[in-house]
A = this chain, B = another copy of it.
Amino acid sequence: MFPIERYNLIINLLEEKSSMTVKELSLATNATTATIRRDLEKLDREKAIKRTHGGAVRLNNDIDPPFNLRDSEKEAEKIKIARVAIKFINDGDTLFFDSSTTVMRLIPFLSSKNGITVITNGIKTAFELGKIGVNTICTGGELTNCNTLIGLEAINAIEKYHVDKFFFSCRAVNELGAYESSTQLVEIKQAMNKNAKESYLLADSGKLNKTAFIRLNLNKIDTLITDSQVDYDWGLNVIWDKK
């Protein structure tokens, strides 16, 4: 086995198991513990894994928990957007929410509304909605990123409901449409879009005029809400924070 193969194997094993000892890795790769230690040192330097006394753990793992503090990125913009978006929600509305952090910023403003029902594929979104007593329905599905439910189960759940409004975000937007990073996310959003009377795309200005991996058609999107003035005419209703 070549070194590179071993590195990949180690990374894959760690992705599956979240932590492994040097001994386990040595057994799995047919290399001595000395070699594994050298590998781990290198992979740690390259930030591919996290070295620990006795073995290594996956990195990706602990980025998530401090959710409240974590996504300080574009926080102000997201709140601005939420303050605009909340004006489109009326008492008694039924809503689809995607699992994005931008849409989550709407939740605090929802407590002033009455009789709202939200269907979402975001676990944290559901949790936060539940906390403030909003009538919440969660789609089923497989969990990714500790947060988002995807797959057939999720799509089926979404297709059962027909709602008034769909609020969602994306990775990038341009005149051709909105972009996402995986087909599975696109499927979810298209299913929600299809079964909503109106759709609202929430995207901070940093996402405008960019692309990402896969496109989501904008056909039925009524309104793009963003945080600063835009001049493009993309054939849809564009609203931004005026102040």
**CA distance in complex: A177, B176 (Å):** 60
A131 partner residues in chain B, CB cutoff 8 A: 61, 64-66, 146
How many copies of this kind of chain does the complex include? 2
State whether A2 and B53 are in contact (beta carbons under 8 Å apart), knowing that A16-B114, A132-B18 are contacts in the complex: yes
Instruction: Tell me how far the C-beta of A46 lies from the nearest C-beta in chain B, rounded to whole angstroms.
Output: 13
Taking a contact as CB atoms under 8 Å apart, the answer to whether A18 and B111 are in contact is yes
Tell me whether A133 and B15 are in contact in the complex, defined as CB-CB below 8 angstroms, given that A62-B8, A138-B123, A140-B157 are known contacts: yes
**Of listed A135, A144, A145, A157, residue having the most chain B CB within 10 A:** A157
Say yes or no for A58: interface residue by CB 8 A criterion.
yes
A158 CB → nearest B CB, Å = 9
> For residues 105 through 149 of chain A, which have their beta carbon under 8 Å from a beta carbon of chain B?
111, 114-115, 123-124, 126-127, 129-133, 135-147, 149
The A contact surface, by secondary structure, is: mixed
Is A23 located at the chain interface by the 8 A CB criterion? no
How big is the A interface, by class?
35 or more
Contact between B143 and A129 (Cβ–Cβ < 8 Å)?
yes
Kindly list chain B residues whose C-beta atoms are within 8 Å of the C-beta of A19.
2, 5, 111
Q: Determine the chain B residues whose CB is within 8 A of the CB of A61 once the complex forms.
A: 8, 131-133
Q: Within the complex, which residue of B53, B68, B157 is in contact with A60, where a contact is CB–CB below 8 Å?
A: B68
Q: Does A75 make an interface contact (CB < 8 A)? A: no
Nearest residue (CB) in B for A139 is B140
Question: A207 on the interface (CB 8 Å rule)?
Answer: no
Q: Assuming A57-B4, A60-B68, is B127 touching A137 (CB within 8 A)?
A: no
Q: Which of A78-115 contact B (CB under 8 A)?
A: 111, 114-115
